[in-house]
Amino acid sequence: MQNNSRKKVRRKNPMLFCFLAALLIVLIIIFAFLAANSRQSTGELQAAYDKDAAFQPSPSPTVRLVSVTPDPYLVTHVPQPSPTPSFLSVGSEGEMVRQLQQRLKELDYYTGEVDGQYGSGTREAVRFFQYQHGLENDGVAGQQTLAVLYSNQAKPCPYTPMPQPEPEVTETIVVQTPAPVLATPSVPLMGYGASGESVVQLQQRLQQLGYYTGSVDGQYGNGTAEAVKIFQSQNGLSADGIAGEKTIHILFSANAKYITITPTPSPVYLTGENILLLVNRQNKLPEDFVPGDLVKVKDICGDNVLYASQNIQGVRVAVVALNEMIAAAKADGIGPWKIREGYRTIADQQEIFDNSVYTFRKDGQTKSQAISSTRQTVADPGCSEHHTGLAFDLNANNPDLPFADTAQYAWLQKHCWEHGFIMRYTDEKEHITGFLGEEWHVRYVGTEHSLKMRDMGLCLEEYIIWLDNQ
């Protein structure tokens, strides 16, 4: 029906059809003309734009400019892929490890290179961080450790690194005000053993500031050296107990600080995994480290052994094992035994170290030369295993025979493992332990570990790595 009526209209109005067709043609011509004009007026910009026109259907130059301006919101809010492993441990690597090392470094636990490789240095730093924060110190950075580490509860490492040898200062003593300038003392620098008027002045000044409580006698003994050392450590100087130019200068200046009393540190109980506490040149204990449960060796071993000093101490569990070991040796007919060394405080070690440095300096060596000479035979304070209270030096009380040639040593080498002790320093492991063989030095680790170490032939450094990989 509708088709019919349309045909009718066309037929009835041929004139109207022709008119519409003509109008359409005119419109097309006008449009083409305008388009040609527009092309000319937009010039070069349009020409450049045309290159893109093929795949950008209907843009205008204005639209195109807007589209290339980066949207700051989009740029900053592009989601970053961030893999988050649940823990990091030896063998882990990458950005997370790098961040961990960076953070540990900020807090002074880590001194190594920030290289994104979780090696034994990182592990020890983590372990020490954990220990300082009451976390299980397994050296594995798990979620709990990471949460504490990146929180504002993370405490910086309490230990201050050993000062590195400094460039030499001319070693003349200049005693400064408030007292009138003193005659230069006859000793090249004031340290242990010095005496005279300049030492009196030193003691008086230290007393005034609260560092020295002994008598002002002009004798530079242990008390004076200790006071100088505390003064140095609290006044930003390297604490060597020697009153050199720099120390004297600050001590007698208005900038000298009064003593600050710090609370006694809490002891660390070496039980469980802590029994393997690694102390060596790379793994230094904090200055205020004190092992818990120290006892006098004599109180447990009684007359079973001889003593170089009646006051030698050790951690109870190790002293009990030592007593049992010596009883077993004696039952085998091997004796006598003498205990030469046990627990040593870091201050004791500092004193041994400083006295040695001072002796070398008096012999004309520079400070750095004296430190190097000392390190050949003396462990740095904090780096001696005797600080743990788990190590003992034994001998056969026979001054005519090297311990290595005694029946006691032969027995010890064979049986110490059965009692939880290890031969800590042997010549064959020197490249790992950093110490020459010390056949008289035993370290308690407990039979759970000592027997495995014997069977696998591993020193403590190697054993800890082995354990980590289990």
Binding stretches for Zn ion (CB under 5 A):
393, 441
Distance, C-alpha 81 to centroid of its chain: 30
CA atoms of 325 and 412, how far apart (whole Å): 9
CB of 395 to Zn ion, least distance (A): 11
d(CA 10, CA 74): 59
Tell me the closest approach of the beta carbon of residue 328 to Zn ion, in angstroms. 21
Q: How would you list the strands of the sheet with 338-341, edge to edge? A: 306-307, 338-341, 391-395, 438-444, 421-425
Q: How far is the CB of 384 from Zn ion (least distance, A)?
A: 8
Pairwise CA distance, residues 27 & 463, whole Å: 94
Q: d(Cα 89, Cα 118) in Å, to the nearest integer?
A: 6
| DSSP designation for 205 | H
Whether 291 and 270 have beta carbons less than 8 Å apart is answered as yes
Measured CA to CA, the distance from residue 6 to residue 28 in angstroms comes to: 26
- Nearest one of 85, 90, 121 to 105, comparing CA atoms: 121
Active-site pick, 341, 385, 438, 439: 438
Can you state the percent helix, strand and coil of the chain, rounding each to 5?
A: 50, 10, 45
Place of tokens 């359409």: 24
Nearer to Zn ion, 88 or 391 (CB): 391
- Cβ closer to Zn ion: 301 or 442? 442
Residues 6+ apart with CB under 8 A from 455: none
Nearest distance from C-beta of residue 410 to Zn ion, angstroms: 19
Q: Which is nearer to Zn ion, 124 or 393 (CB)?
A: 393
Using CB positions, name the residue nearest to Zn ion. 441
Nearer to Zn ion, 229 or 441 (CB): 441
CB of residue 445 vs Zn ion: minimum separation in angstroms? 15
In this complex, which beta carbon is closest to Zn ion, that of residue 34 or of residue 436? 436
Measured from the CB atom, the residue of 224 and 313 that comes closer to Zn ion is 313
Q: Which residues contact 343 (CB under 8 A, 6 or more apart)?
A: 291, 294, 312, 313, 314, 315, 386, 387, 388, 389
Active site residue 438: yes
**Residue 126: count of CB within 10 angstroms of its CB:** 29
What is the C-alpha separation between 101 and 86, in angstroms, rounded?
A: 17
The residue (of 361 and 441) whose beta carbon lies closer to Zn ion is 441
Maximum Cα–Cα distance across the chain: 144
Length, in residues, of the chain: 470
Which is nearest to 134 in space by CA: 125, 143, 144?
144
Q: Which is nearer to Zn ion, 146 or 297 (CB)?
A: 297
CB of 156 to Zn ion, least distance (A): 31
Considering the complex, what minimum distance in angstroms separates the CB of residue 387 from Zn ion? 11
Rank residues 92 and 349 by Cβ distance to Zn ion and give the closer one: 349
Distance of CA 463 to the CA centre of its chain: 21
Query: What is the C-alpha separation between 127 and 142, in angstroms, rounded?
Result: 11
Asked if 123 and 89 touch (Cβ cutoff 8 Å), the reply is yes
Q: What is the DSSP letter of 383?
A: -
- d(CA 337, CA 315) in angstroms, rounded, equals 19
Report, in Å, the least distance between residue 158 CB and Zn ion.
25
- Residues designated as active site: 438
